[in-house]
Every structure is written in C-alpha cells, then in structure tokens.
Chains A and B, each alone.
Chain A
Amino acid sequence: MRKFLLFLLLFAGLSINLWAQSKYTVSGRVQDESGEDLIGATVYIQENNTGTVTNVYGFYSITLPAGKYQLVYSYLGYETVTTTIDLNKNQSINISLKEISKTIDEVVITAKRKNENVIKAEMSTMKLQAKEIKKIPAFMGEVDVIKAIQLMPGVQASSEGSSGFNVRGGSADQNLILLDEATVYNASHLMGFFSVFNNDAIKDVKLYKGDIPAQYGGRLSSLLDIRMKEGNSNNFEANGGIGTVSSRLTLESPIVKDKGSFILSGRRSYADLMLMMSSDEEVRKNKLYFYDLNFKANYKLNGKDRFFISAYFGRDVFKYEDMFGFNWGNMTFTSRWNHLFSEKLFSNISVIISNYNYELGQETGASGFKWTSNLFDVKFKQDLTYYPNTKNTVQYGYSGTYHHFNPGLAKGTGEVSMYQELKMPESNALEWAAYVSDEWKPNNKLTVNIGLRATAFQNMGESTVYNFDNNYEKIDSTVYSNGEIYNTFWGLEPRVNFMYSVNSNSSIKGSYSRTKQYIHLASNSTAGSPLDVWVPSSPNIDPQVADQFALGYFRNFADDTYETSVEVYYKNMKNQIDFRDHAELLLNPEIEGEFRSGDAWSYGLELLVRKQTGKFTGWISYTLSKTERKIPEINQGKVYPASYDKPNNIAVVLSYDISKRFNVAANWVYSTGAAVTFPIGRYEYEGMIVPIYSDRNEYRLPDYHRMDLSLTYKFGVNKSKGLRSELNLSVYNVYNRKNAWMITFIQDDIDPNITKAEKVYLFPILPSLTYNFYF
C-alpha cells in the first residue's frame, strides 16, 4: 500500500516537471448568485476547442500555453458567461452565474454547453437538479429524489412505494447512497414510502449505473451521489412548505458575507397529529411519524482553504398504545477541508461518520423487552485532483473506514423477565482503499479514462466467529480479542472508459468496471424493512464481485434540444447472496449460517430521449433487461430469475410550463410484473391447507402501470424579493389502477376446503395538496 502511494506521488511530480515550463494555469470556482457551488459546470476554451468541468466543490483548473483566450462558463439553467483573459501568469477566476428564470420574463431556451452529454467521457449516469425533481408529480406531495431515480432507464423500484431500487440487475443493497459523501444505510422513512432525503436541502443528485469513478467503491451496482446545498452566502433566505404528509422549513444565511454560509432544513410528518384529535384515549397514545434535519455550513478561510460541515439526523417513530414502540433512523456527519496546494492540485480531506440504528420494544411487565441494533462507521479520506495540462486530469486518493456492527441484542426489561437474552455477536472491520485515475484526451475525438482502485477489508476483534461445516451446521466458535485482525480480503478494481466523438453531435462510449462489496444486507424480503441488518464479509462470507461492460451511442438532435442515448450492458456478479429456505435473519446469532451464495448475471438495453431545455422538458426511457441467479442450494441449483427481474420498463416524465405561473407535469410508468413463486399444489395438515410451490420465481405478478399528474401555480413570480409562493396539486395513480403489490393465497374462512388468490394493492388514486413559500 505504501509503495503504491509513493508511486502516485512520483507520478504526480513527474508530470509537473514535464509540463510546467511555458504554460500557465487558470483556476477558480463556479458558483451561482447565492454562492452555491455548481457541480459539473463547463469551462470551455473557444480558441483550441477544449474545456473542463468543475468538480463536486465547483473547482476547475486548466493549464494552457501563454496567450489570449475566451473562456465560456456555462451550466444548465444558468446564463452563459464569457470572459477574455490574457494568460501570461497563473490566474484565479471565480465566476458567478445567474439563474435564467430569475432574469428573463419569458421562459426561453436554456443555455448549456453544446452537446455536453455527448462529449463527456462518462456514460451510464444521469444527473438531476433538485428543481427538476420538484417538477415530477410527487407521491402524497412529498418531493422525493429516490422516487425520481426510479424513473431512470436501468433503474427499477424494488416494489411499489418502496425506497429500494435495483440498478441493472443489482440487489437493493448494492447501491452506495452518499449524502455529502456519508453513507446512508437505510434511505427509507415509513417502511419506504418516503425517502430520508428532504429535497429542500438538496442541490443535485447523480446516479452512476456502471462506470463508477475509481474514487468510489464498496458497492457493486451503483453510486447515488447526493449533494446538499451550501446555503445562500449573500442574503438570508427562508423557504418551506405545508403538505399533506409533512411540513418543511429551510433557512439559509451567510455566516460572513461571501465567506461562509449555512443551511438548516427540517421536515416532520404529522399523520399522528390526526390521531391526537381522536376521542379515544388509547388511540391518542399511538404514534407514527418521521422527521429529519439537515445542516450544512461552509467557510472560506482564504483563496486556498475552505471548510465544510454537513450533518443529517432523521428518525421514524412508531408507537402502538402502550403495547410497543419502534423507532429507527440514520445519522451522518461530514467535515471537509478543501485545500489548493497549487492552481493545479486540488485536495479534499473528509472525516465522515455514519450511523444507523433501531430500537423495538415493549416497555414494562414480565413480557417487556427491548431490541436494539446499530451500525456505526468512521471514515477518513483524502481525494486529490491534479490538472497537469489540458489533456490530462489525474485523480488519486485513499481512504480508511472503521465499521462497527452490532446486529442485534434483545433482552427482557422486566424485573422478573421471562425472556432469555438474544444476542448476535458484535463485530468490527477496517476497510481500506487507494485509487488513481487519469482522464486523458489525446485529441478532440477521443477521451479515455483509466482508473484503478485497490481495496482491502479486514475483520477485527473483539468478536465471536462461528465456524460452520459443509452443511452450514455450527461446529464451534472462535473468540478474537480486541483489535486482533483475524481475516483480510483484498482486490483490485480496474475502471476504464472511452468516448469517441463521431461528429459534433454524436459519440460512441464504452466502459468496463470491476466493483467489490464487503458488507451485505441480510434481508430476504423484496420490500426491505427497517429491521434489516448489515453483515460484513468474514471467514464465512466472501466479498461480492461484479464485472460490468457497457457500450453506448449518444446523439443529440435539433441543435442539441433532444438528447438521445442507447446503451447496452452485461454485468456478471459473483458471490451473490441469498438465504436458505425459511432462513431466520432476525436476531439469529448464527446468521452467517443462513447465507448461501452463487452467481448472478444481468444484461440489457436502455434507451433514453431527454429534453432539458425550453417550456417542455422531461424524458422517455425504455429498458429491456434480464437478470438471473444460480445458487447451488436454492431452487435445487437451477437458474431462476431475480425477483426484481422485470424485462420491460417504460418511464415517461413530462413537464410543461403553460405560462410563467402555471406548470403541468405528468409521468407514466410501466413494467413487467415482478417474478414470484406461486403454489401449484396443496395438501392438508392439521386443518391447514399447505401450498406446494412452483420453482423459485416461476410466475409473474400482473404488469404494473400507473400515471401521476401535477399542477403547480406560482404566486408573486415578478417579485425578486419578499414572499413568493406556489400551490401544487399532485394526483398519484390517476386512473386508479389496482396494481398488485403482492398476491396471497388464503384458505376460505367459511369453507376450509376452498383456497383462493387475493391481490393486495397499496394505493388507489391519491390526490394531495402542497403549499410552498420562499422569502
């Protein structure tokens, strides 16, 4: 590892010597008027037809031969700024871009760099700004980034209403969800009907379905990179909303004008407040709500150093009379230090904490008990970007993470408890990574990005490890002392992509990536539940590995108005996790004995047409895919489709600005029904009719489709100050389709000889009203 880092430093040093002579660097930040960093803004050099994009902190750097240049700064939805520079020394240029809708009366074609999606080397990604997400009709009026992600090609909702999603045949635990770089282990509120992300606190979100940058790792299938807003650094700003499910309030303010700012955002649902109005005292004791708080602050010490702190805290609380209570939630904390070693070398150091825990219990009595579980991470990482010249951008860095797993402890709480303590062994692990990647543009036609990530995972005591025989029966256990490293996995993860520009509006892209995953979610449900626990790789569980190949053709039409892409992928996954039949995953100290592993593979075709500018915006996506698994102990070793294998998927997401005040939006989704196992026979035992099942996932639920609509009316659109507001009406499931959430087979109450199938569906047509305000 040390040698590897040394190599990186040498590599960086070498490039400086080679290129530093007759060239100068222009660098700086691109922000919007309120001081928000613009991620992925384009800086284009007209003279030699090259350019760069800002990194996640809004920083850019370009090194050019001395001379006069026109620099064009652009970002979707913002006015383009062109500056002329005479480059005879290193220069720092910070640019602030104006949002278009704020400056021009009529909604006009929005500027962005021409054919940006075509000429960027990356593929299999999709980025959404918070304001785009807001335009999508929201379930119960709750604007939700995860629900927006589920409308992208190659992405499927795990089940209706769920916050789980499956990317290119990956299971729901194979998504790395980062909120300001901190891992969010459970993104669900209220059993998944809402995600934990409050859209008001979010700047933008980017999903990587493959071709994950070497900087990121730890999950097999995708990276969902969610960035929080920095807060207005010029003026105090407040916005909020009152909705059917929850109310929100966000405050933004400068700390020191132009030097620092903060944002504080909170949200709470209030279904339980309705219960309080009940005349029944018992009912008033019921609780069912969630809340979350987002906080972020940043401060610019000088031109070279900038500090950030981000925090998230959210919880769900469920209480049924005095019988039992249940609460769960995530906490994340990120502190970051951006430092410019030079105009060409950008560094960020982060210290990140993540925690997920839950508590379930009944408080009193001999039958009282408390069940707790938590997962805690601390991570240190440094990421560096080196801009040696216009042809290369080098990224390198390293990270170390300490994981603590406390998967479950349940014990009686009464003085004379009738329960024995149930404890799953606690464990610890260290996860290491180092990476380097170079984006190389040998000429205007070709961009190649070559990256390598090296990772290691070490199990560390204090822990008890059960040893199993070939039949997964426990033989004995080994106790490891505090701090003792008793098992190490490591691996290399190459990441490569290329972009070949066919002409100015079309390109071909390809990528290969290997990803490894060292921690796994012990959940055999399709919907996911807050009780699911994460289990580390260990002597009993091998890390998951995936190799993904993707090829795409990107072409824009009508002068960049319509973006289209076709991508095909093949993903091969090893050591995929499933569980033995009738697995016991709750509070089972020997949970590792329930794991079964095997192979999975997925391939597919994804089509996308997207229009991001003008009055009429949105996208249409179609996905054709197949995902199968083969695990020796499951389904008698025969290949079976994954439950989330839904071969046909269509999403239509449209928004139209009728006028400055009035917006109408609609979406329609269609997918093949999920693969399920149905009974094909039955027998009787002690008055029960017991089903005999088909092969695993041999049947399908009926096809799923649904349409949602929303209407938004804005007040005070001509004001630039003071109260502005909007009223939004969203209708979920407009044509009231009773989509099957599951199909159950039950015995008739009256005649026990009769069995019947019942469809369970979740949401009928559901209108909701939301009022949002800004001042």
Chain B
Amino acid sequence: MKTKIYFIILFISAWLVSCTEEITIELDSTFERIVIEAEITDELKQHQVKITKSADYFSNTPAPPVTGAIVSITDGINTYSLTETTPGIYLTDTIQGVPGNTYTLSANISGEIYEASGYMFTCPVMDSISFTINEWNEDFINVLIYAQEPGNEINHYAWKAFRNNILVTDTLREVTFSDDVFINGSYVNGVEVQYIEALPGDTIILEMLSIEEGYYNFMMKVMSETDWDGGPFDGPPANFYGNISNEALGFFAVYSIQRKTAIIPDDVAKMEY
C-alpha cells in the first residue's frame, strides 16, 4: 500500500511541475569506488558478478570495468571460482543455488578483499497469473497473481517479466518489488504485481523472486535516488551502501525464483474498481 501511496504522491507532484529545461552545471570529482553487481539464484545457469568503478557524474561513458579480480562464491561447503569472460564480467560454471543455504561472495581486487553474504529463501509457488489493461496507460498490461502466502516471516518479493521470451524488465526501474502485498498466511487472489507494454496474444512469463529484506531496502534506495526522486517534496538525497564490505558499492543478491507462463487473452479487460 505504501508503494502505491508513493506513486500517488509522485503523481500529484508531477501535476504541479510542468516546465523543465536542460542546464549546464559544474560538478566536482570524487574518489573512485569499487562497484559490485552480483547474484546467485536457484536457477541452473552461469551466475554473474560484474565489477566496475565509479566515475565522474557527467562522464557519460559506460562504467570502467575492473579486470583481473579473483572472485569466488561459497555456500560453506563448495567454493565456486568465477572466470572473467569479458572485462569486468565474471561467471561461475553452470551451477544451481539451493534455498536454505547462505552464500558468501569474495572478490580480491589488487590485494583488497571485498566480501558479502546472503541467505536464499524459498519462493512460494504461484497458482496462476492473469492480465488486465493498465488503468493509467492502455498500452500496458497488468500482471496479476494468485498464490497462497506460506505464512512465515519472509515477505519481500520482486517480480520480473518476459514478453515472448524477451526479458522486458531488464533494468531495476522495471522490476517491481514489495514488502506488504501479502497478508501472512492468506490467499492472494489477483493482485497486480507487474506492468509491461504488451498486446493480446503475447506470451508472458512472470518471475517471482523471494528476496532478502536488505536487497529490498537497497532497491528502494536505488530507486529513491534515481527515478523516484520527488524533488522538494522528498527528503534530501544521501549516499548508501549495499551488503558488500570494505565500502564497495552495489549488492550481492541471493534469491530463489518461481515462474508462471500465460498468453494474454484477446478479451483482456480493463481493471475494475
């Protein structure tokens, strides 16, 4: 509900603000920081760790990669070494994470050690998904889920979507996440969890991620410092860290995934109130 309220407030702010103009601003530089974007899931695949450096705000080039790092992920018993396939991109062999395990990432960059760990929760199974036309923009389709919430304390989720086998939520701004959509233990009977540009006849895969609270908070902060910045109605901006040691930026995300596939019917209806 809070997420929805935030959107309403942003919407009201947007009503008020209409004139914008690009301007030139002189900004200082700051020291370079190490940035790690890493994840391990319960899918059988090569899991990726991306290591880059921060840059000047108006550098306007892709983030400089960090090469030659020694990277590994361990579940306490097995240790998987990662191989640098392209500069800054490190991959595991084809492996599968197991819910219930705690995973630890370690990266040695020119002698400096960066570490992070995370617990893999089990993701509840979705019974089915359905679709409605988005109430704000008719080119968009809402994806609704039907599922039994397991009734334990885990209640942080994220959702990604594929349209005709192409991941359309490929940046964080398109991923949706929530901490309060489920009432513990009750049946979730048709709740909108994703919004994507799609047409009747398209095949949609919805991916539900069971994430840690820390990752949820991190994504909220990334969004609040980027797209959701409400300007003067918002608090002052602030820097933040993820779960990686040694003041590296970024996050090591550990989560499990459930999927459901469905075709958008021709008679998809508008959301009813």
Residues of A within 8 A of B (CB): 159, 191, 318, 320, 322-324, 326, 360, 362-369, 371, 410, 412, 416, 418-420, 422, 524-527, 529, 531, 579, 581-583, 585-587, 643, 677-694, 696-697, 699, 738, 740-745, 747, 752-762, 764
Q: Once the chains are docked, how many angstroms separate the CA of A318 from the CA of B16?
A: 12
Cross-chain pairs A/B with CB under 8 angstroms, 24 sampled: A322-B273, A326-B8, A365-B273, A366-B189, A416-B189, A422-B1, A524-B234, A524-B235, A582-B220, A582-B221, A680-B29, A680-B30, A682-B56, A684-B37, A685-B37, A686-B175, A686-B222, A687-B172, A688-B227, A690-B225, A691-B225, A691-B226, A742-B232, A756-B22
- Say yes or no: A747 contacts B226, CB within 8 Å: yes
Least distance between B30 CB and chain A CB atoms (Å): 4
Is the CB of B168 closer than 8 A to any CB of chain A? no
Is the CB of B213 closer than 8 A to any CB of chain A? no
- Say yes or no: A761 contacts B251, CB within 8 Å: no
Least distance between A733 CB and chain B CB atoms (Å): 12
- Say yes or no: A760 contacts B60, CB within 8 Å: no
Q: A360-B5, A368-B273, A682-B54 are in contact. Are A738 and B19 (CB under 8 A)?
A: yes
B41-76 CB mask vs A (1 if < 8 Å, else 0) is: 000000000001111111111110000000000000
- Say yes or no: B273 contacts A420, CB within 8 Å: no
Q: A677-B237, A688-B171 are in contact. Are A683 and B52 (CB under 8 A)?
A: yes
Least distance between A286 CB and chain B CB atoms (Å): 10
Residues from chain B with Cβ under 8 Å of A585 in the complex: 235
Q: Once the chains are docked, how many angstroms separate the CA of A418 from the CA of B147?
A: 12
Is the CB of B191 closer than 8 A to any CB of chain A? yes
Interface set, chain B 168-191, CB cutoff 8 A to A = 170-173, 175, 180-181, 183, 188-191
- Say yes or no: A743 contacts B23, CB within 8 Å: yes
Least distance between B208 CB and chain A CB atoms (Å): 16
Task: Kindly list 16 other residue pairs between chains A and B, CB separation below 8 angstroms, not including A682-B56, A685-B249.
Answer: A323-B135, A368-B273, A527-B233, A677-B238, A681-B57, A683-B52, A687-B170, A688-B223, A690-B226, A699-B27, A742-B231, A745-B57, A756-B58, A759-B20, A760-B19, A761-B19
Residues from chain B with Cβ under 8 Å of A360 in the complex: 5, 8
Residues from chain B with Cβ under 8 Å of A747 in the complex: 226
Residues from chain A with Cβ under 8 Å of B12 in the complex: 191, 318, 326
Residues from chain A with Cβ under 8 Å of B222 in the complex: 685-686, 688, 690
Specify the chain B residue showing the minimal Cβ separation from A288. Answer: B15
- Say yes or no: B33 contacts A681, CB within 8 Å: yes
Least distance between B243 CB and chain A CB atoms (Å): 13
Q: Once the chains are docked, how many angstroms separate the CA of A686 from the CA of B190?
A: 28
Interface set, chain B 224-259, CB cutoff 8 A to A = 224-227, 229-240, 249-251
Task: Report the count of interface residues on B (CB-CB < 8 A).
Answer: 77
Q: Once the chains are docked, how many angstroms separate the CA of A678 from the CA of B239?
A: 11
Least distance between A1 CB and chain B CB atoms (Å): 40
User: Interface on chain B toward A: helix, strand, loop, or mixed SS?
Assistant: loop
Q: A682-B54, A760-B231 are in contact. Are A692 and B20 (CB under 8 A)?
A: no
Specify the chain B residue showing the minimal Cβ separation from A583. Answer: B235
Q: Which of A365, A527, A683, A758 contacts B232 (CB 8 A)?
A: A527
Least distance between A582 CB and chain B CB atoms (Å): 6
Q: Which 4 A-B pairs have the closest CB atoms?
A: A687-B171, A581-B238, A527-B232, A524-B235
- Say yes or no: B25 contacts A582, CB within 8 Å: no
Residues from chain A with Cβ under 8 Å of B190 in the complex: 366
- Say yes or no: B8 contacts A582, CB within 8 Å: no
Is the CB of B266 closer than 8 A to any CB of chain A? no
Least distance between A639 CB and chain B CB atoms (Å): 15
Residues from chain B with Cβ under 8 Å of A681 in the complex: 29-30, 33, 54-57
- Say yes or no: A753 contacts B172, CB within 8 Å: no
Q: A159-B232, A524-B236, A694-B28 are in contact. Are A686 and B37 (CB under 8 A)?
A: yes
B106-148 CB mask vs A (1 if < 8 Å, else 0) is: 0000000000000000000000000000010000000000000
Q: Which of B4, B22, B273 contacts A757 (CB 8 A)?
A: B22
Least distance between A473 CB and chain B CB atoms (Å): 13
- Say yes or no: B21 contacts A761, CB within 8 Å: yes
Is the CB of B9 closer than 8 A to any CB of chain A? yes
Q: Once the chains are docked, how many angstroms separate the CA of A501 from the CA of B95?
A: 89
Residues from chain A with Cβ under 8 Å of B237 in the complex: 677, 679, 691, 693
Residues from chain B with Cβ under 8 Å of A582 in the complex: 220-221, 224, 235, 238, 240
Is the CB of B152 closer than 8 A to any CB of chain A? no
- Say yes or no: B61 contacts A753, CB within 8 Å: yes
Quick one: which of A318, A684, A686, A747 has the most chain B CB within 10 A? A686
Residues from chain B with Cβ under 8 Å of A416 in the complex: 189
Q: Once the chains are docked, how many angstroms separate the CA of A620 from the CA of B37?
A: 57
- Say yes or no: A686 contacts B180, CB within 8 Å: no
Q: A326-B12, A680-B29, A741-B17 are in contact. Are A685 and B173 (CB under 8 A)?
A: no
Residues from chain B with Cβ under 8 Å of A320 in the complex: 11
Residues from chain A with Cβ under 8 Å of B250 in the complex: 683, 685
Is the CB of B24 closer than 8 A to any CB of chain A? yes
Residues from chain A with Cβ under 8 Å of B56 in the complex: 680-682
Q: Which of B17, B20, B23, B59 contacts A682 (CB 8 A)?
A: B59
Q: Once the chains are docked, how many angstroms separate the CA of A585 from the CA of B235?
A: 9
Residues from chain A with Cβ under 8 Å of B231 in the complex: 527, 741-742, 744, 760
Q: Once the chains are docked, how many angstroms separate the CA of A416 from the CA of B8?
A: 22
Least distance between A56 CB and chain B CB atoms (Å): 36
- Say yes or no: A684 contacts B63, CB within 8 Å: yes
Q: Which of B1, B30, B52, B54 contacts A412 (CB 8 A)?
A: B1
Q: Once the chains are docked, how many angstroms separate the CA of A759 from the CA of B61?
A: 23
B185-228 CB mask vs A (1 if < 8 Å, else 0) is: 00011111000000000000000000000000000111111110
Specify the chain B residue showing the minimal Cβ separation from A674. Answer: B232
Residues from chain A with Cβ under 8 Å of B5 in the complex: 360, 371, 410, 586-587
- Say yes or no: A760 contacts B192, CB within 8 Å: no
Residues from chain B with Cβ under 8 Å of A368 in the complex: 273
- Say yes or no: A683 contacts B62, CB within 8 Å: no
Specify the chain A residue showing the minimal Cβ separation from B181. Answer: A418
- Say yes or no: A419 contacts B180, CB within 8 Å: yes
Q: Which of B9, B61, B191 contacts A418 (CB 8 A)?
A: B191
Least distance between A159 CB and chain B CB atoms (Å): 5
Q: Which of B4, B21, B58, B189 contacts A758 (CB 8 A)?
A: B21
Q: Once the chains are docked, how many angstroms separate the CA of A761 from the CA of B249?
A: 33
- Say yes or no: A755 contacts B171, CB within 8 Å: no
- Say yes or no: A691 contacts B57, CB within 8 Å: yes
Specify the chain A residue showing the minimal Cβ separation from B61. Answer: A753
- Say yes or no: A683 contacts B33, CB within 8 Å: yes
Q: Once the chains are docked, how many angstroms separate the CA of A531 from the CA of B171?
A: 31
Least distance between B148 CB and chain A CB atoms (Å): 14
Specify the chain B residue showing the minimal Cβ separation from A748. Answer: B60
- Say yes or no: B183 contacts A697, CB within 8 Å: no
Q: A418-B181, A692-B239 are in contact. Are A683 and B63 (CB under 8 A)?
A: yes
Q: Once the chains are docked, how many angstroms separate the CA of A689 from the CA of B57?
A: 9
Q: A159-B232, A696-B236, A760-B19 are in contact. Are A683 and B54 (CB under 8 A)?
A: yes
Least distance between A388 CB and chain B CB atoms (Å): 52
- Say yes or no: B23 contacts A525, CB within 8 Å: no
Q: Once the chains are docked, how many angstroms separate the CA of A583 from the CA of B4?
A: 17
Q: Once the chains are docked, how many angstroms separate the CA of A643 from the CA of B234?
A: 13
Residues from chain A with Cβ under 8 Å of B239 in the complex: 581, 692-693
Quick one: which of A412, A680, A747, A758 has the most chain B CB within 10 A? A680
Specify the chain B residue showing the minimal Cβ separation from A419. Answer: B1
Residues from chain A with Cβ under 8 Å of B236 in the complex: 524, 643, 677, 696-697
Is the CB of B264 closer than 8 A to any CB of chain A? no
Q: Once the chains are docked, how many angstroms separate the CA of A374 from the CA of B271?
A: 32
- Say yes or no: B58 contacts A755, CB within 8 Å: yes
Least distance between B48 CB and chain A CB atoms (Å): 11
Q: Once the chains are docked, how many angstroms separate the CA of A362 from the CA of B5?
A: 10
Specify the chain A residue showing the minimal Cβ separation from B55. Answer: A682
Residues from chain B with Cβ under 8 Å of A689 in the complex: 226
Residues from chain B with Cβ under 8 Å of A422 in the complex: 1-2
Quick one: which of B30, B135, B224 has the most chain A CB within 10 A? B30
Residues from chain B with Cβ under 8 Å of A756 in the complex: 22, 58
Q: Once the chains are docked, how many angstroms separate the CA of A324 from the CA of B7?
A: 12
